[in-house]
Structure 1
């Protein structure tokens, strides 16, 4: 069957956000209010910040405002991979912070366990499965690269290298030549249910939540800060900004991130026979080893989420609703899906959607303060925010507390990445990098002069 026909009934909306358990939105803020801590942003970054702030000090008066609804943006549109990695993969971390990797991996493992503990503590029904992840090789040079990474990775966690027969015994695709299996460092989760569960947990602890309340600007006000909203103003002693892909209220931060659009498809539920044809009894998340990679996983009702490959940047760093749909990417993804799983010919896609991810030049989160330490922010998660945002929340609260911790001592926390250049250089550079990465994928992984230059400048990407 032509892969395009599998898209004929796909609804242009995120599968996760259609869940019938979606809560009603809380009322917008009207008039002025005061609080100890204002959290701006109702995705994972903001939700974890509000929750942990109340856990640390139940008497702290916390307000959270969200421009739309809780979890509607990246937190409700992602693939649901909750990884321990704080550095967007071991390779990227070793390239940038080799002396800190042991500490970063330990902190990441503790952070993932804390998320699992919170899911249990607050009774969050989010289809949590600690399955691990397979990083699969589909080209011969990737097998060698994964084996080299395995020799390093096993120092930091529970990893296993699988040859072609072993990985196909886990998930059966004729494209697989080998894999690196991270057995314990990744969980699968229903991303929207996690956001909604965190919302309920925050509210139960006394966080005041206002949705449909956009933060329009920020300014000092007396000894604290004031954030203007469409119908009022919040006066807060401190502010934590979790706006991620959207333009920061601290304008000097804006050149450090760009929005990149990512896309995903969701299939109809597999029959028992279809599921048996691909195995996947371990239900691990899967990603391939290409520069332009795919990520995919099994949902609780045995659908396959299939996403990635295309990463689209729009000139001027624009974030617009119309960019959430891109049929040409859906066609590409559908074709790649059936190349990977030809035994599923005839399966249909029920949902197709996209969304913006905030990325930075080091491909992992960075942190900063403003207004004499009264404002803290985290941004640049580059698609790995399901887990790392909780760590980011702790860092922001540490920075606001003004007391050194093992987190604030990290070079990763103390230093920011290089900013992106202004347009049109930014657009040209991102386009050239994407073209070069695609060429490397088609040329046995060999990196051209542009990519080698980016590597020397610390702007390269190693997953």
Structure 2
């Protein structure tokens, strides 16, 4: 099979749109803010972080007036554009956490597991129809060098409660058929899959039922202190004065200028196939319907949807000079063709399958790959950023931290280095673009050279910084 030609054929007619967000069930949540009002808490952003924050704040302070303002629609940004993987990790993986907070990892891994359980419990209690399933995950090795150290890692992961099993070539082929797989790591208890847009809409409905008011189509232009409160101005005719503000803006430029260098927007791209036939599904196997990703430095992530489509994304993360963001960046033909070619190289038995949707979206990437927290104006403004592509689950934990910080007392999370510290900021332009480009090129070279990391990557490792999506 000519994978290049097959990729072009399969993408012909693919819709430039997000599969998750195009549901006929997509609800609306409130008209644009058109008046001035004094409230107790304003949350900027109606993605996962903003919605979890609204729910947890209202449960904690039921008497408060809580308002969420969103420039687009609920879940329009990263929350509705991702692959729908809910990972238990709060630290972008066990190894990343051990490299940064080794003395806290027992607690952080416990908190991450409890967080995943709490999300599943919340979805069940509130009857949120979002196709959530505790499917587990498989990290697949597509090169022999990726198997090195896998058993050692699995043993380490088991000490933190991970139910892991190292798979040889025969074992991984029995689970999912691909001529590229050399082995892998099956983890049964640390990953759930979900329809992310339906989860966002379900969270918004719960928040509304608790008395939270949501205003879509309301772009915030600034936050400032005023008479012991915070003024929130918008591009529309409305404004708010609030005792507290939570900023949940993800990859969009922070309303606090000094924060902007701690994250950069990196565009990640996704394809969605048409529904597979029973014969096509049988040719792939995948009866466990686990979430999959490969073990390269530049990696793909993929999973089956409830209607038997394959979502296929990742690998080619793109940064634009000056941290620019644009709706034009959400479609990148070159990257989508690359992803399609890789898809058919992985699953040649699916020759003839077409892609119905192709999209992209920005991820708020930090140099330590994990979330961080901060505050301004004597604690009246709280924020969390830097989820780096692993925020579907971690945003709920972040919301717990932010809501605890709304009270003038030490919280149960303040002792954690994950909460207390910030990542190394990205350098200013033009150095920023040079660093990102050098890192991406070095990661590609490492994948092509048996995983061997060059001097540049070893230097970044030494200082605990990097680039990822």
Instruction: Please give the range of the TM-score, normalised by the shorter of the 2 chains.
Output: over 0.9
Are residues 1:369 and 2:378 paired?
Answer: no
Q: 1:153 aligns with which of 157, 165, 168?
A: 157
Are residues 1:69 and 2:81 paired?
Answer: no
Q: Deviations over 1:190-244 (max 9, x none)?
A: 0000000001000000001101111110111112111001212111100011001
Work out the CA distance in 2 between the residues paired with 1:4 and 1:129: 33
Alignment match, 2:211:
206
Are residues 1:44 and 2:48 paired?
Answer: yes
Q: Deviations over 1:69-122 (max 9, x none)?
A: 100111110000011101111111111111111111000001111111111121
Are residues 1:432 and 2:438 paired?
Answer: yes
Work out the CA distance in 1 between the residues paired with 2:29 and 2:328: 23
Alignment match, 1:132:
136
SS of the residue corresponding to residue 381 of structure 1 reads coil
Q: Deviations over 1:387-437 (max 9, x none)?
A: 000011111111221322332210110000011110000000000000000
SS of the residue corresponding to residue 316 of structure 1 reads helix
Alignment match, 1:184:
189
Structure 1 position 164, deviation (Å): 1.2
Aligned 8 A contact 1:35 1:61 in 2: yes
SS of the residue corresponding to residue 401 of structure 1 reads coil
Work out the CA distance in 2 between the residues paired with 1:170 and 1:113: 25
Alignment match, 1:254:
260
Alignment match, 2:16:
12
Alignment match, 1:86:
90
Structure 1 position 462, deviation (Å): 9.6
Alignment match, 1:446:
452
SS of the residue corresponding to residue 220 of structure 2 reads coil
SS of the residue corresponding to residue 16 of structure 2 reads coil
Stretches of 4+ aligned residues off by more than 3 angstroms: 460-463
Alignment match, 1:306:
312
Aligned 8 A contact 1:369 1:399 in 2: no
Q: 2:420 aligns with which of 399, 414, 422?
A: 414
Work out the CA distance in 2 between the residues paired with 1:287 and 1:399: 35
Work out the CA distance in 2 between the residues paired with 1:462 and 1:41: 23
Q: 1:326 aligns with which of 314, 328, 332?
A: 332
Deviates more, 1:170-179 or 1:394-403: 394-403
CA RMSD for the aligned pairs? 1.2
Alignment match, 1:222:
227
Work out the CA distance in 2 between the residues paired with 1:406 and 1:132: 29
Q: Deviations over 1:333-384 (max 9, x none)?
A: 0110011111111111000000000001100000011100111100000000
Name stretches of at least 5 consecutive residues in structure 2 with no aligned partner: none
Are residues 1:336 and 2:335 paired?
Answer: no
Structure 1 position 247, deviation (Å): 1.0
Q: How many pairs were matched up?
A: 463
Work out the CA distance in 2 between the residues paired with 1:34 and 1:116: 35
Work out the CA distance in 1 between the residues paired with 2:120 and 2:414: 23
Structure 1 position 25, deviation (Å): 4.2
